[in-house]
Amino acid sequence: MSPDPVKLSAAEAIERIAAGDLDAGALFSAYRERIERHDGELGAFLWRAGDAPAATDGPLRGVPLAVKDLFCTEGVPTTAGSRILEGHKPLYTSTAVHRLAAAGAPMIGKTNMDEFAMGSSNENSGYGIVRNPWDPERVPGGSSGGSAAAVAAGLAPWAIGTDTGGSIRQPAALCGIVGLKPTYGAVSRYGMVAFASSLDQCGPLTRTVTDAALLLKHLVGHDACDSTSLGLPEEVRTPARSDLAGLRFGVPSELGSSAEGVEEGVGRTFDATLELIEKLGGELVEVGLPHARHGIAAYYLIAPAEASSNLARYDGVRFGHRAGNGTLLDLYEKTRAEGFGDEVKRRIMLGTFALSAGYYDAYYGRAQRVRTKIADDFRTAFESCDLIVTPTSPTVAFKLGERTDNPLAMYLSDYCTVPMSLAGIPAVSIPAGLAPAADGSGPERGLPVGFQIAGPAFSENLILDAAHALEQAIGFDVTGALL
């Protein structure tokens, strides 16, 4: 008897389809039915595809893909989680979605997200919350919360999201799946609704490291439509390593298990994973990232500054929501007041302030210098190690509503992921185990803990190899939260 196709990883599904043991259309329909049945309670999807598309002979064999709702899709609503784009149908398709469709991964739905990717809990969506499939009273993380929850709950075999300061890695960690942020420039940003252009990067959210490599392989490449896109210098390989011999893993004290704000359970799981690295033949090296603790400060100046500029386009003139019937200024101000949610307004205000006359040098200018120091720290650290490891999130999934009244507490969710974003380097989060919440609440079995592995720019193959070896040794059950 063949196993439930929904429990197969995407790579396994591709193999079975290629061998004629599984029908791609039936797989699409099975996921489609699951979305219909379960997404009412989860809230992961903002748009759902209709019938299964025609068969494809592309290398991804028709295995369906969930797409964060900030990738433009021609003729298909694209809202970026914002009411200001309600009903908006783009005139073109993003390069990432186009490339994956061409490789044979049809879109099964568009996923919920924090508005304009600003958030770490998915509670800032203009279209409702997303629940964590491990505990429906908790957040899935954000901003790619819908993509992470959909994959963890088995409503999609894999998904793409975007990561600006942790928006792929943190929700992947909180939902117990794999999430990869590639090197800045590895994947084209063309057709991605812009948040912070110097940081935004598209990447996969999957149940296995092999699936992440497979999606990445078909995502990367230079694109004439994005002059910052570079691709990767070598082809993405299928990760095969089962040991870590010869690899040096840097453990930064600033972002380790004893760092401020890291929950005891998260710290314990992190330390246990370090032991596992040694058992697999890897060497642990102490490294310093002395400026990493300033990452959040620099990030929350640079990202809002870029956002305040990028979001100037939502003015009620060319597309999207329009309000006001007085003068042009009245139209701008009312359209934006009605269309944007609280967090987006907060960041536009913060960014506009940081760029305004008299404050530019003290805030934005300084933040860009701190960014240089953080990137230098990584460069120095990588002289004595091959990879750097940290917890992905200082805490397990927190309760819905717990941090909504405290923006700073929410921002600190990104403490361990923001430094890599500022440095433009790749990092993956893999599920390392289950741990209880700090206050002992939540399900008895615990909640997922993510383990982050970062490497120098363009080291995706090495990161994925190491992640694969660890994944095999950890043996985390990624079907543990299937609805």
Partner 1 sequence: MIDRDQVLHVARLARLRVSDDEIERMSRELSTVLDHIEKISELDLDGVPPTSHVIEVENVLRPDEPRDSLPPERALEGAPDATPAGFRVPTPGQ
Least distance to partner 1, CB of residue 312, Å: 8
Q: Does 336 participate in binding partner 1 (rule CB under 8 A)? A: yes
Q: Catalytic one among 82, 94, 167, 413? A: 167
Site for partner 1 in 273-292 (CB under 8 A): 291
Rounded Cα distance between 269 and 451, Å, is: 9
Query: 24-42 and 10-19 are packed helices; what angle lies between their axes, rounded to 10 degrees?
Result: 150
Whether the CB-CB separation of 153 and 44 falls below 8 Å is answered with yes
E strand spans, 243-357: 248-252, 283-287
Among 86, 258, 312, 477, which residue interacts with partner 1 (rule: CB under 8 A)? 312
Residues in contact with partner 1, total (CB under 8 A)? 69
Would you state the structure tokens that stand for residue 70, as one six-digit string?
């900030």
Q: Of the listed pieces 57-65, 108-116, 221-229, 394-402, which binds partner 1 according to CB under 8 A?
A: 221-229
Catalytic residue among 9, 68, 181, 188: 68
Contact predicate 371/302, CB 8 Å: yes
Identified binder of partner 1 from the candidate list 398, 411, 451, 476, rule CB under 8 A: 411
Kindly state whether residue 110 participates in binding partner 1, applying the rule CB under 8 A: no
**In the bound complex, what is the minimum distance in angstroms from residue 300's beta carbon to partner 1?**
6
- Please give the residues from 414 up to 443 whose contact with partner 1 meets the rule CB under 8 A: 422-424
Contact (CB, 8 A) for 106 and 56: yes
Among left, alpha and beta (phi > 0; psi -120 to 50; other), residue 357 is: beta
Reply yes or no on whether 167 is catalytic: yes
Contact call for residue 404 and partner 1 (CB under 8 A): no
Six-digit token string for 37 = 């049945």
Question: DSSP code of 68?
Answer: E
Active-site residue (options: 9, 82, 125, 143):
143
List the one residue from 29, 352, 404, 479 that touches partner 1 (CB under 8 A).
Answer: 352
The dihedral built from the CA positions of residue 351, 407, 319 and 75, taken in this order, carries a sign that is: positive
What's the length of the chain?
A: 483
How far apart are alpha carbons 396 and 176 in whole angstroms? 10
Q: Least CB distance from residue 165 to partner 1, whole Å?
A: 13
Q: Where do contacts with partner 1 occur on this chain (CB under 8 A)?
A: 88-89, 91, 183-185, 198, 224, 227-228, 230, 291, 294, 296-298, 300-301, 308, 312, 315-322, 324-334, 336-337, 340, 345-346, 348-350, 352-353, 356, 362-363, 365-373, 375, 407-408, 411, 422-424, 457
Q: Which residues are catalytic?
A: 68, 143, 167
